[in-house]
Amino acid sequence: MYLKYGFLGTIKMLVAFIYTRLAYPKARLIRLPFDIRNRRFIDLGRGLTTGVGCRIEAYSSSNKVTLIIGNNVQMNDYVHITAMDEVRIGNNVLLASKIYISDCSHGSYVGDADDSSPLSIPKDRNYAKKKVIIEDNVWIGEGVCILPGVKVGKNAILGANSVVNKDVPTNSVVGGNPAKVIKVLS
């Protein structure tokens, strides 16, 4: 380990390993710093590995678990996940760095009578919530943003810096802003 991480890196890994065993015994490795908010509304599954600077937060008005992470999920540095209704991440999902996943936003902007007023203060607007489901064996590239109401099908690949605002079919590769299907895998 010393040759791979150096002296300071090895110390950091040992501290992270001890922290993981004490605070998250089902996880594989939680690198520090790690910010988890409202842990009682979060199910981390087994075998979770995180990079540094991850922020995972869940809020529930009905005292139910709103963030469910499957088994053997690996998220790299600076992943931010917010859940108010439900965010469900399947098994064997790989998340690159700097990813944002949220099932909520400050206000509604879908073009109906319930839309938020642009004259109101953003933090005072009612939250709009729609479930986010990410199925098994998905690979999410660097800098991807997954917005409320999206379902990502099994075995999908989301290209770097994509903004995903619509469902992603099973066995497909998507990319762009907004994300579009580039290829269907057979």
What pLDDT does residue 11 have?
93
Together in a domain, 68 and 147: yes
Residues 45 and 16 placed together within one structural domain of the fold = no
Q: What number is the average pLDDT over the span 118-144?
A: 94
**Which residues, other chains included, contact 2 with Cβ-Cβ below 8 Å and sequence gap of 6+?**
10
- Which phi-psi region, left, alpha or beta, contains residue 155 (left: φ > 0; alpha: ψ -120 to 50)? left
Q: Is 128 in the same domain as 150?
A: yes
pLDDT at 18: 97
Phi, psi (degrees; rounded to nearest 5) at 151: -120, 125
Q: Helix or strand or coil: residue 74?
A: strand
Q: What is the pLDDT of residue 118?
A: 85
Number of structural domains, the chain? 2
Is the domain of 25 the same as that of 54? no
Q: Rounded to an integer, what distance in angstroms lies between the CA atom of residue 122 and that of residue 127?
A: 10
Q: What are the tens digits of pLDDT across the range 53-105?
A: 999 999 998 999 999 999 999 999 999 999 999 999 999 999 999 999 999 99
Q: Are residues 70 and 117 in the same domain?
A: yes
**97 with 37, same domain?**
yes
pLDDT of res. 167: 98
Please indicate, yes or no, whether residues 54 and 141 belong to a single structural domain of this protein: yes
What does the pLDDT look like over 35-62, one tens digit per residue? 999 999 999 999 999 999 999 999 998 9
Domain that holds residue 19: 1-29
From the candidates 80, 106, 125, 154, give the one annotated as an active-site residue.
106
Torsion from C-alpha of 152, 155, 158, 159, nearest 10 degrees: -170
80 belongs to the catalytic site: no
Report which of residues 90 and 123 the model is more confident about. Answer: 90
Q: What percent of the chain has pLDDT over 90?
A: 83
CA 163, CA 51: separation in Å to the nearest integer? Answer: 22
